[in-house]
Structure 1
Amino acid sequence: MLAIVTILVVLTACGKEPVLPKDNRPTIDVIDMSGRTVTIPREINRIYAVGVNGSIIVYTLAPEKLSGLGVLPASGTAKYINEQYHKIPVLGDVEGNSANSETVLKANPDIIISSMMADVDKATTITNADRLQKKLERPVVVIDGRLTNTDKTYEFLGNIMDRKERAKELGDYCAKSLKEIKDMVEKIPAEKLVRVYYAEGPKGLTTDPAGSRHTEVLDFVRGINVAQVQTGLDSVPAGVSLEQVMIWNPDVIITGKGKGHNSGGEFYNYALKEGNWENIKAVKFGQVYEIPAYPFNWFDRPPSVSRVIGIKWLANLLYPDYVTIDIKAEVKEFYAKFFDYNLNDQEVDDILQNAMRK
């Protein structure tokens, strides 16, 4: 029998081009985005991603390579994403204990993708990835799930998945979009910055602080997150009281849609009807907005690549005098590029329902 020889290919999170030897050896070693060296198949055809955000980024690159999903797409999203996505088996989240090892292994993934998030230190990420790899006996590759490194993540995945051209197209769009919005919001004077409360749950009394993976969009566009709270393990939202929100008295409230993926929504209608909220500035002046959520939430849960259109939406919403973009045109471009779906005007309006200034 011929010995299977693994070769070392330095593939860094900085996006350097790997140099693959011209032979037929079946495995290569790569350095993933956490700095771990992982032996993976040279040819990758089946991928299982831990967490929805990983599944989404793989879907935008090569949906045919997904061997399983963590959860079903949210109701109401079917028409925006390829029918092929709906046929992928739902395996659950093995890291979140909604799937068992046997279920995942039955799908026979070549690699498993895990994400490094903004509010988890690298050492913890590495420990978790090593533990999962040992448990499943499949290579676990860590990607960077942080918003500002989305372009680098596309480049990394494009290299190991043999989707370089597609990855460059999407990564370049992300880098350009983040730079354009960053340049605009950096010009906003400090006294013009808007104070924002991110209301989660049906009564709006859970939230996340600045620096969380769940508020990267708000942090990026220089919205002032009024929530001075501590989240729980795995960035679980913090519970707050209505009295505390009244003290914070935000200028704007943003909240998830009731039918969006994992949004825990319905707060939008609750806030407008519940008299106890009427004296909060944002409610009093009609500055409560629902975060667009189809096919995937633009802000959070999951904190996916959809956040790239999310920063355009939120920056324009909070600072229309400084971020002068045609958000409807931007939405059409994003959906065509990332989801291969050409929105009509009515569909754009549906997606942006309750998300725009009157």
Structure 2
Amino acid sequence: MKRTVSVALILMLMFGVMLSAAGCANNAQTPAPAPETAPRTMTDSAGRTVTLPAKVNKVYCTTPAAATMLYILAPETLLGWNYQLAPHAKNFIPAPYNELPNLGAWHMTKTTNVEELLKYDFELVLLSVPTDPAIADDIATQTGKPVFVINYPVTESGQYFEVLGEILGKEQRANELADYCNEVIKEIGDKAATIPQDELVTVYYAEGNNGLMTDPKGSIISQALDYVNGQNVADIPEKGGGGMTPITLEQLLKWDPEVIVTWSTFNEKPGFLVEQILANGDWKEIQAVKNKRVYEAPADKPFSFFGRLPAANQIIGFKWAGQLLYPDVYQYDIRQEIKEFYKLFYQLDLTDSQLDDVLDYGDERHLQ
């Protein structure tokens, strides 16, 4: 009798263990549903407290610079561009991003059609400039979307990425980009401080159809020259809100720069201004022309190294400008530096042929 009871008890215990194990297995296979993420609030660069949706899938950027920052960090979230991409820019922006619509800009000159914009699905408007809270609030009213202002200079691109990464939930990639930016800015600043005053190189930044427009010393457009300790000869007041201050040939002849850096505007033939300056007899007595030290800052492949679009795309421009003016101080293998930058920032593995295309008139090859 005792043996019978013992066997029965053992069988009951075994059955209970089996039921318990089955229950655990079912629980493991059917996890509890994750709680929905609630909207959150963040304070923007205008001091506004903005309520953000739990998930941001698409963003409309009001300026080309903001769109560039977003494209670098998370291209899949970019709703569209603010201008028509140049054909050579499209060669360095893969589909579908090179086919995104031109939605216009909403800053100094408004080209955005709000009615057309609202035909697209997006959750957020990203505004870089201006930082006036009233303007941000007005855009929010017109679009019915939250507007978040992020405003940092190029030298603080790391902070821009960190804030944008938090908004989009892309903190890991944002931190990688921020680390690169911060390291380069510190490195360039440290090297610039070592250059003796009597060894500073004078440089002129040429713009416009005839090269007699410029962005003076201290401008955000020509800031790469300043930061690497190049001496911008155009130490004059900046005219107009959009830059490109006119000068005279007489002024330029008096300044007599050692180096000339040019910038081709959107959709212009790369190198046209370099070729024009070198062939212009009126410029022949300038040191830079005599010594054939006239270059074009790489532009629109897909974004400029410096000049227009003052965003993190200019970080590589600091290295380029440094090694151009002071090769003994900024001892970079600039071709390798560009390849590494394009891999991290644009997720592109440049071939040597593509790299030649990027540099184009930005090195000595056009002078040979």
TM-score calculated relative to the size of structure 2 = 0.84
Alignment partner of 1:33 is 2:45: yes
Aligned to 1:351: 358
Alignment partner of 1:236 is 2:243: yes
Q: What does the per-residue CA deviation read over 1:38-66, in whole Å, with 9 as the maximum and x for residues that have no partner?
A: 22212111101111111111111111111
User: Structure 1 CA distance, aligned partners of 2:127 and 2:267?
Assistant: 20
User: Structure 1 CA distance, aligned partners of 2:250 and 2:117?
Assistant: 45
- Residues 27 and 169 of structure 1: CA distance in aligned 2, closer, same or farther (over 3 Å): same
Alignment partner of 1:270 is 2:276: yes
Q: Select 1:208's aligned residue among 196, 215, 228.
A: 215
Aligned to 1:13: none
- Residues 261 and 134 of structure 1: CA distance in aligned 2, closer, same or farther (over 3 Å): farther
Unaligned runs of 5+ in 2: 1-33
Q: Secondary structure at the match of 2:139?
A: helix
Q: What does the per-residue CA deviation read over 1:132-156, in whole Å, with 9 as the maximum and x for residues that have no partner?
A: 3333332221112411110000010
Answer whether contact 2:339 2:355 (CA < 8 A) is retained. Answer: yes
Answer whether contact 2:59 2:79 (CA < 8 A) is retained. Answer: yes
Deviation at 1:251, TM superposition (A): 1.2
Q: Select 2:290's aligned residue among 281, 284, 292.
A: 284
Within 5 Å, which residues of 2 pair with 1:132-151? 132-151=139-158
Greater C-alpha radius of gyration: 2
Aligned to 2:22: none
User: Structure 2 CA distance, aligned partners of 1:151 and 1:109?
Assistant: 25
Aligned to 1:74: 86
Deviation at 1:262, TM superposition (A): 7.9
Q: Secondary structure at the match of 1:170?
A: helix
Q: Select 1:94's aligned residue among 91, 106, 112.
A: 106
Answer whether contact 2:60 2:125 (CA < 8 A) is retained. Answer: yes
Q: Secondary structure at the match of 1:106?
A: coil
Deviation at 1:175, TM superposition (A): 0.8
Aligned to 2:18: none
Within 5 Å, which residues of 2 pair with 1:156-235? 156-235=163-242
Matched-pair identity in % = 37
Deviation at 1:72, TM superposition (A): 2.5
User: Structure 2 CA distance, aligned partners of 1:287 and 1:125?
Assistant: 42
Bigger mean CA offset, 247-256 vs 131-140: 131-140
- Residues 25 and 341 of structure 1: CA distance in aligned 2, closer, same or farther (over 3 Å): closer
Q: Select 2:127's aligned residue among 111, 114, 137.
A: 114
Answer whether contact 1:215 1:300 (CA < 8 A) is retained. Answer: yes
User: Structure 1 CA distance, aligned partners of 2:234 and 2:126?
Assistant: 32
Deviation at 1:92, TM superposition (A): 1.0
Deviation at 1:275, TM superposition (A): 0.7
- Residues 169 and 261 of structure 1: CA distance in aligned 2, closer, same or farther (over 3 Å): farther
Alignment partner of 1:49 is 2:36: no
Alignment partner of 1:295 is 2:307: no
Q: Secondary structure at the match of 2:91?
A: helix
Q: Secondary structure at the match of 1:112?
A: strand
- Tell me the amino acid that sits aligned with residue 135 of structure 1: Q
Q: Secondary structure at the match of 1:109?
A: coil
Deviation at 1:160, TM superposition (A): 0.6
Q: Secondary structure at the match of 1:80?
A: coil
User: Structure 2 CA distance, aligned partners of 1:102 and 1:173?
Assistant: 39
Answer whether contact 2:65 2:311 (CA < 8 A) is retained. Answer: yes
Give the number of aligned pairs: 330
Q: Secondary structure at the match of 1:213?
A: coil
Answer whether contact 2:75 2:97 (CA < 8 A) is retained. Answer: yes
Deviation at 1:112, TM superposition (A): 1.0
Q: Secondary structure at the match of 1:300?
A: coil
Answer whether contact 1:39 1:139 (CA < 8 A) is retained. Answer: yes
Answer whether contact 2:69 2:312 (CA < 8 A) is retained. Answer: yes
- Residues 163 and 134 of structure 1: CA distance in aligned 2, closer, same or farther (over 3 Å): same
Q: Secondary structure at the match of 1:202?
A: coil
Answer whether contact 2:201 2:258 (CA < 8 A) is retained. Answer: yes
Aligned to 1:12: none
Answer whether contact 2:208 2:244 (CA < 8 A) is retained. Answer: no
Unaligned runs of 5+ in 1: 1-21
- Residues 33 and 107 of structure 1: CA distance in aligned 2, closer, same or farther (over 3 Å): same
Bigger mean CA offset, 285-294 vs 229-238: 229-238
Q: Secondary structure at the match of 1:113?
A: strand
Answer whether contact 1:27 1:39 (CA < 8 A) is retained. Answer: yes
- Bigger share in helix: 2
- Residues 136 and 263 of structure 1: CA distance in aligned 2, closer, same or farther (over 3 Å): farther
Answer whether contact 1:256 1:291 (CA < 8 A) is retained. Answer: yes
